[in-house]
Chain A
């Protein structure tokens, strides 16, 4: 009971702060929007996806949703570093609450806000021509979106636990997030690529997230949804453990 209330408190603070930062919400919709509209429509007539009866815009929409979740997830890590810098972290560390619960609250809070960003992009994609999926399809997509959010929020927390200022996040965005995004099969189909690239896509956890959302939204995917779920779930557990471990080691 006490644990739940602590987790809820940290979650609540993250969500409260999310809704207060309207400019952040709008701002982080910019990139997904341009990807969808410019790349999606720009290549729509040029590219046909073999073996799938879908437009290119429809094909990349799940990838762009995953992208917005991926990038939003990092914000939870940034928030943690800011909390360290402004001292707020101490206020939570000295409360009669275990660090594991603080970490879980932070991860759930970050995942929730990232999920909301993803839902906004999903809605945008429906407006620009992606067909409305079935209810069960939407639920499957939301499940995978949440799993992506929670895993990468945990990655952000793991990084943040070792960092003293937010400059490091620029590096993470360039050297972790962009590769993870571009390798994920968000923009291209997974068969017909050279072997070395194929290898990299299959070890990229986001690939399974994108494929899961794709299955939910389009009803077709290249990787079986059960397999995607297992792979992403495994990655999530590993990242939650890593995040908790490093969060536990934060020195003040």
Chain B
């Protein structure tokens, strides 16, 4: 069943087209990732889906409800963890949860609050003021809070932004667990390739407001023709000659002392490649498995990292823009 459907969605801010004719559908139970550089339009898309922004044109349905005309039903169906923090730091973890539960009209909150705080391992800190929490703890609390009213769909906007690698890994585990154990459909945005790759069932790569590719991480990488083996040798001509007989190479490219061959399942075939080289002298052999970064590069001619201006600057810029 399709839990989210978006048709020809456009959002303009004055002259700037932040979301440009976007179409996609998300199935129940999926973890769906939006991967894109700063300013790509990820947050704007989520804001429209969570009814906080009105689309300029196009249509979107969440849990079967129209985001423009059935706001209340949409809001009841979703949990949102915003990119920027939204906790009341002067209150305790429990109180933040409790106020959320009340806002969503929940009668029996207590047990659910305890269970969720337990899930994110904050049960021993529930009576502590949130301002004393670390960044990772705050993020976990926000995720727990977003789940309190048992939404079918959870939006996570840059869930691990600014967290250290260990905390990120930890959060990824939570997200997977939620998806598997509770059956929550998850839509996350990120500009970390590894995050998109490791977590998502499907990834939409978004740039300048447009979805430029959408598929499983595996399929996206396969479009590049598989992995690459790079052979460094003085006699690259001979290397090319020896390898050109191999049927399963999808591409061979020799350039100043290197021979790059692309092929599927490179990690399994590397031994055969080396065997085929026989007695040709070789300096080094390296295996390069493509990442989503390479996919992004192949579509845009740029890397995501190039554009990674500090996310904090972005936030500040947006605040300024909103003030106008």
Contacts and interface: CB of A to CB of B under 8 A. Distances in A.
A89 B52 CA distance: 12
B104 A164 contact: no
B281 interface: no
A20 B82 contact: no
Interface stretch (A69-77, A93-101, A153-161, A211-219): A93-101
A92 interface: yes
Interface stretch (B33-41, B86-94, B217-225, B231-239): B86-94
A8 B75 CA distance: 19
Nearest to A88: B88
A17 B72 contact: no
A108 interface: no
Interface in A1-27: 2, 5-6, 8-9, 12-13, 16-17, 20
Interface residues of A, number: 27
A92 B50 CA distance: 12
B103 interface: yes
A98 B95 CA distance: 22
B312 to A, nearest CB: 14
Interface string B56-98: 0000000000000001110110101010111111110001000
B88 to A, nearest CB: 5
B268 interface: no
A5 B82 contact: no
A87 interface: yes
Nearest to A98: B72
B102 interface: yes
A20 B92 CA distance: 11
A167 interface: no
A88 B102 contact: no
A95 B86 contact: no
Contacts of A9: 99, 102-103
A96 B85 contact: no
B103 to A, nearest CB: 4
Contact of B90 (A12, A20, A92): A20
A146 B241 CA distance: 92
Interface in B279-324: 319, 322-323
Contacts of A6: 102-103, 105
A91 interface: yes
User: Max chain A CB contacts within 10 Å: which of B84, B105, B323?
Assistant: B105
Contact of B322 (A83, A86, A87, A252): A252
A192 interface: no
Contact of A93 (B52, B72, B89): B52
A249 interface: no
A221 B47 CA distance: 54
Contacts of B76: 96
Nearest to B145: A91
B90 A94 contact: no
Contacts of A86: 85-89
B102 A12 contact: yes
Nearest to B72: A96
B128 to A, nearest CB: 14
Nearest to A13: B99
Contacts of A12: 99, 102
User: Max chain B CB contacts within 10 Å: which of A2, A9, A89, A94?
Assistant: A94
Nearest to B106: A5
Contact of B319 (A2, A8, A164): A164
Interface string B135-179: 000000000010000000000000000000000000000000000
A94 B89 CA distance: 18
Contacts of B200: none
B162 to A, nearest CB: 14
B262 interface: no
A2 B105 contact: yes
Given A9-B99, A13-B99, A94-B75, A252 B104 contact: no
Contact of A87 (B51, B75, B84, B105): B84
Given A6-B103, A17-B91, A90-B82, 4 more contacts: A91-B100, A91-B145, A96-B71, A164-B319
Nearest 5 CB-CB pairs, A to B? A87-B86, A9-B102, A96-B75, A95-B103, A91-B86
29 contacts: A5-B105, A9-B99, A12-B99, A13-B99, A16-B95, A17-B91, A83-B88, A86-B85, A86-B86, A87-B86, A88-B86, A88-B87, A88-B88, A89-B86, A90-B52, A90-B84, A91-B82, A91-B86, A91-B87, A91-B145, A94-B50, A94-B75, A94-B78, A95-B103, A95-B104, A97-B103, A164-B322, A164-B323, A251-B322
